[in-house]
């Protein structure tokens, strides 16, 4: 009977769409936080309402608190006393003010029991980017309260969005997709990749008379510069930690291989020489090795080699269709197509492995989850969640075992970088 019960529990767990695989944190009690709006005389009611939802959403994604959805108001300098029927440990209290075309956020975090202020700060941002006020406050709050770091939260994501056959835009957005700005449009623009840690530029592929061409786009000057061209395909798969080297997938002789390109010396070196498909090179182990996808076993799987090329090591011994990798230090996340054949229901799950051990962890348990990308601190993974004709950005908090989705309202995601 116990065995039957256990089997039932396992089956229920596996059938739960979008669930992350829960292996730790069971039974952990998180402190409860409520959000109080102390804004007065703010003309844009829609923005004010949106900001409250953003703060609640950010607190949930931060995963450090149990968050109340209820909308509270207060005066900014009121005490932390709340009604007896509310149970809360902390208050996130904020006030918005409009300063011309900019918005100011003033906030403080109060301890309900002691009425003491744990943290306070103030930020100003252009109105079109007001979402980053909430995100920035969360990053600073986590840092000041010694919570798990969420420095990725006020970083931008960049994605390519199909708008019509053969046409796609490149869009810069916040992680919730609330803020979106089209930065490249016209023709097919794909595989955007941040060029540096401060996200001031990115690489992407476009086509000149059907010839794939790699560009670098500077967001400060809004200028693009041509880097390289290659017949067949060219993609900037990864950028080294210091931003001076690129791992490219190119097919100059109708043959896709991994190349290392030095931005400064402009030296191009071929790393893989297999006659089949080698793509998606990613730096790993302090930029000394390259993890990549290859069909050298007759199906796509994950392999590694030295940055100088040479012997190739198989990294994954599970699944028959593993691709779309991203790396952080010694960790690799990849997407595995688990449909038996073309007629079966499409299922792509994400897995996390270490280059230093046999560690394997399944991160998703159903649906179509592709294109994983690590956050800058490696603690979170962003991915594309396909939802029929549309798609969403998914975020997995690796250590907290939580996942969230933010649907894209128009178009379909081609690729994403964080």
Partner 1 sequence: MKKLVLVSTVAAALFMAGCSSKSPEVDMSADANKAGQQGAMSDAERLNSLQAQVQNVYFDFDKFNIRPDMQSRINQNASIFNQAGNFKIMIEGNCDEWGSDEYNYALGVKRAKAGKDALIAQGIAADRIEITSNGESKPVCTDKTKDCDAQNRRDEFRLLP
**DSSP string computed for 95-151:** EEEEETTEEEEEEEEEETTT--EEEEEEEEEEGGGTHHHHHHHHHHHHHHTTPPP-G
Supply the minimum distance, in Å, between the C-beta of residue 339 and partner 1: 8
Helix (H) or strand (E) holding 14: helix 2-15
**Residue nearer to partner 1 on the CB measure, 51 or 371:** 371
Under the rule (CB under 8 A), what is the footprint of partner 1?
162, 165-166, 168, 188, 190-191, 207, 210-212, 231-233, 235, 237, 249, 251, 254-256, 276-280, 293, 299-300, 321, 323-324, 335, 337, 341-343, 346, 370-371, 384, 386, 388-389, 413-415
**Residue nearer to partner 1 on the CB measure, 137 or 161:** 161
Instruction: Tell which residue, 313, 309, 310, 286, has the closest CA to residue 297.
Output: 313
Supply the minimum distance, in Å, between the C-beta of residue 417 and partner 1: 12
Question: Quick check: helix, strand or coil at residue 272?
Answer: coil
**Residue nearer to partner 1 on the CB measure, 74 or 237:** 237
**Residue nearer to partner 1 on the CB measure, 107 or 236:** 236
Supply the minimum distance, in Å, between the C-beta of residue 324 and partner 1: 4
**Residue nearer to partner 1 on the CB measure, 154 or 238:** 238
Supply the minimum distance, in Å, between the C-beta of residue 414 and partner 1: 6
Q: How would you classify the pairing of strands 190-194 and 201-208?
A: antiparallel
Q: What distance lies between CA 315 and its chain's CA centroid?
A: 23
Supply the minimum distance, in Å, between the C-beta of residue 65 and partner 1: 34
Supply the minimum distance, in Å, between the C-beta of residue 303 and partner 1: 13
Supply the minimum distance, in Å, between the C-beta of residue 249 and partner 1: 5
Q: What one-character DSSP code corresponds to residue 334?
A: E
Supply the minimum distance, in Å, between the C-beta of residue 342 and partner 1: 4
Cβ-in-10-Å burial (0-12, 13-18, 19+) of 105 comes to: buried
Q: What one-character DSSP code corresponds to residue 21?
A: P
Instruction: Tell which residue, 28, 378, 401, 375, has the closest CA to residue 393.
Output: 375
Q: Are 106 and 98 in contact (CB under 8 A)?
A: no
Separation CA 33–CA 64 (nearest Å): 10
Instruction: Tell which residue, 306, 201, 325, has the closest CA to residue 263.
Output: 201
Separation CA 346–CA 331 (nearest Å): 26
**Residue nearer to partner 1 on the CB measure, 191 or 202:** 191
Q: Are 245 and 222 in contact (CB under 8 A)?
A: no
Q: 231 - beta bridge partners?
A: none
**Residue nearer to partner 1 on the CB measure, 112 or 333:** 333
Q: 92 - beta bridge partners?
A: 35, 109
Supply the minimum distance, in Å, between the C-beta of residue 167 and partner 1: 8
Supply the minimum distance, in Å, between the C-beta of residue 378 and partner 1: 21
**Residue nearer to partner 1 on the CB measure, 142 or 368:** 368
Separation CA 250–CA 6 (nearest Å): 49
**Residue nearer to partner 1 on the CB measure, 191 or 406:** 191
Residues 6 or more apart whose Cβ sits within 8 Å of residue 238:
193, 246, 247, 281, 282, 283, 327
* Number of C-beta neighbours around residue 11 at 10 A: 9
**Residue nearer to partner 1 on the CB measure, 141 or 236:** 236
Greatest extent of the chain over all pairs of C-alpha atoms, in Å: 73
């Amino acid at each position: 009977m116990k065995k039957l019960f256990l089997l039932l529990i396992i089956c229920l767990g596996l059938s739960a769409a979008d669930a992350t695989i829960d292996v730790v944190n069971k039974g952990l009690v998180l402190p409860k936080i409520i959000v109080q709006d102390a804004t007065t005389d703010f003309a844009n009611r829609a923005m004010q309402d949106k900001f409250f939802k953003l703060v609640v959403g950010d607190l949930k994604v931060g995963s450090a608190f149990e968050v109340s959805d209820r909308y509270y108001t207060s005066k900014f300098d009121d005490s932390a006393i709340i009604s007896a029927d509310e149970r809360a440990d902390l208050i996130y209290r904020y006030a918005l003010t409009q300063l011309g075309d900019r918005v100011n956020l003033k906030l403080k975090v109060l301890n309900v029991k002691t009425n003491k202020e744990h943290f306070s700060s103030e930020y100003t941002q252009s109105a079109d980017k007001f979402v980053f006020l909430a995100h920035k406050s969360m990053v600073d709050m986590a840092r000041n309260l010694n919570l798990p770091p969420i420095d990725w939260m006020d970083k931008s994501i960049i994605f390519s969005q199909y708008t019509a056959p053969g046409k796609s835009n490149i869009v810069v957005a916040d992680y919730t997709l609330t803020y979106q700005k089209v930065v490249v449009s016209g023709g097919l623009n794909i595989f955007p990749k941040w060029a540096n840690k401060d996200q001031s530029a990115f690489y992407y592929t476009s086509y000149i008379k059907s010839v794939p061409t790699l560009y670098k786009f500077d967001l400060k000057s809004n200028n693009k510069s041509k880097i390289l061209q290659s017949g067949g395909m060219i993609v900037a798969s990864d950028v080294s930690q210091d931003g001076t080297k690129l791992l490219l997938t190119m097919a100059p002789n109708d043959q896709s291989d991994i190349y290392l390109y030095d931005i400064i010396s402009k030296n191009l070196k071929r790393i893989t020489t297999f006659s089949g498909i080698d793509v998606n090179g990613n730096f790993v182990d302090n930029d000394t090795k390259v993890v990549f996808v290859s069909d050298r076993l007759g199906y796509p799987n994950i392999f590694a080699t030295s940055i100088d090329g040479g012997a190739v090591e198989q990294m994954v011994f599970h699944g028959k269709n593993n691709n779309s990798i991203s790396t952080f230090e010694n960790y690799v996340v990849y997407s595995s197509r688990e449909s038996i054949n073309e007629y079966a229901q499409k299922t792509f799950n994400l897995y996390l492995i270490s280059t230093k051990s046999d560690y394997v962890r399944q991160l998703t348990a159903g649906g179509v989850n592709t294109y994983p990308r690590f956050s800058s601190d490696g603690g979170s993974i962003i991915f594309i969640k396909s939802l029929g004709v549309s798609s969403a950005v998914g975020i997995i908090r690796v250590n907290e075992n939580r996942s969230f989705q933010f649907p894209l309202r128009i178009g379909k995601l081609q690729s994403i970088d964080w």
